[in-house]
């Protein structure tokens, strides 16, 4: 597919390609990272994703303050350097990414209303404690979930699958991408349930699981085609909308 001037819409200098650049994604999510970590300094958070990142890296002896945030930043910077692209960010691209995030969240919200499952897409150890503290902790955790759940279940799982099965085992890239998006979506959905809930199949909330899995496929597809930043934006905006809608 090419544009009228003969260039591919995903050539390096086009908007479609710019949204995929790690540096643009990093700059786009930095305000969200700041909101989450400044907010948690005041309100705290029971969000599992950053805590699990801390625990996994802590197992290997890495115990730096704000480690999850540093990991996200470092990974995106390393990706940018590996791609050998210039350190240049355009405001119009960031504005476009925000606009896209708002547009792409609408089908997700519509699906949630149609299925009567407007669920908060975050996994926490004790959501009740956040709810009891007020709306701000939920909003902050919703933003954090948008960042860290996309980092774990989209950037890490999908990217790692592509590296292993495409670059190492030389499997077909499109097939691996489809399978990895689905597998990551299932893992993403399961992450929102306790081990006890998963073990008790007779009472397991299958409809909630299916909805989150479908939402995970949607977010995974956005990650593959529109980039990490937009996937984070859509996830975070959905969580914010859900909190405000259920006030």
Percent of the chain at pLDDT above 90?
72
What distance lies between CA 179 and its chain's CA centroid?
18
Is 60 exceeded by the pLDDT of residue 130? no
Is 60 exceeded by the pLDDT of residue 114? yes
pLDDT band, very low/low/confident/very high, at 58 (cuts 50, 70, 90): confident
Is 90 exceeded by the pLDDT of residue 18? yes
CB-side exposure of 7: number of CA atoms within 13 Å?
10
This prediction has a pTM of 0.91
Is 80 exceeded by the pLDDT of residue 105? yes
| pLDDT of 175 | 95
Q: How far apart are CA 50 and CA 32, in angstroms?
A: 14
Q: What is the largest CA-CA distance in the chain?
A: 58
Domain borders along the chain are 15-245
What's the mean per-residue pLDDT of the chain? 89
120 closest CA partner among 214, 247, 239, 244 = 239
β-strand partners of 47: 124
Of 9 and 106, more confident: 106
**Which residue's entry shows tokens 């399978």?**
179
CA atoms 22, 27, 32, 37: torsion sign: positive
Of 203 and 222, more confident: 222
Is 80 exceeded by the pLDDT of residue 125? no
Q: Which of 80-84, 145-149, 238-242 has the lowest mean pLDDT?
A: 80-84
Q: How far apart are CA 80 and CA 198, in angstroms?
A: 39
| pLDDT of 113 | 93
43 closest CA partner among 146, 139, 161, 184 = 139
pLDDT band, very low/low/confident/very high, at 57 (cuts 50, 70, 90): confident
């Amino acid at each position: 597919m090419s544009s009228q001037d003969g260039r591919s819409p995903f050539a390096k200098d086009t908007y479609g390609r710019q949204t995929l650049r790690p540096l643009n994604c990093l700059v786009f999510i930095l305000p969200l990272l700041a909101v989450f970590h400044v907010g948690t300094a005041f309100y705290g958070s029971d969000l599992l994703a950053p805590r699990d990142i801390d625990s996994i890296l802590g197992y290997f002896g890495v115990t730096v303050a704000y480690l999850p945030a540093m990991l996200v930043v470092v990974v995106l910077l390393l990706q940018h350097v590996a791609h050998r692209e210039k350190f240049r960010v355009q405001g119009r691209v960031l504005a476009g990414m925000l606009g896209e995030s708002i547009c792409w969240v609408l089908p997700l919200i519509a699906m949630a209303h149609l299925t009567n499952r407007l669920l908060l897409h975050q996994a926490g150890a004790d959501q009740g404690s956040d709810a009891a503290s007020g709306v701000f902790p939920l909003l902050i955790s919703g933003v954090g979930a948008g960042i860290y759940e996309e980092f774990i279940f989209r950037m890490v799982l999908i990217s790692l699958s592509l590296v292993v099965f495409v670059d190492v085992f030389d499997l077909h890239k499109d097939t691996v991408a489809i399978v990895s998006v689905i597998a990551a979506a299932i893992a993403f959905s399961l992450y929102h349930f306790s081990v006890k809930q998963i073990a008790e199949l007779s009472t397991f909330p299958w409809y909630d699981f299916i909805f989150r899995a479908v939402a995970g496929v949607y977010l995974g597809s956005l990650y593959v085609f529109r980039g990490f930043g937009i996937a984070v934006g859509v996830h975070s905006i959905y969580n914010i909308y859900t909190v405000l809608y259920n006030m």
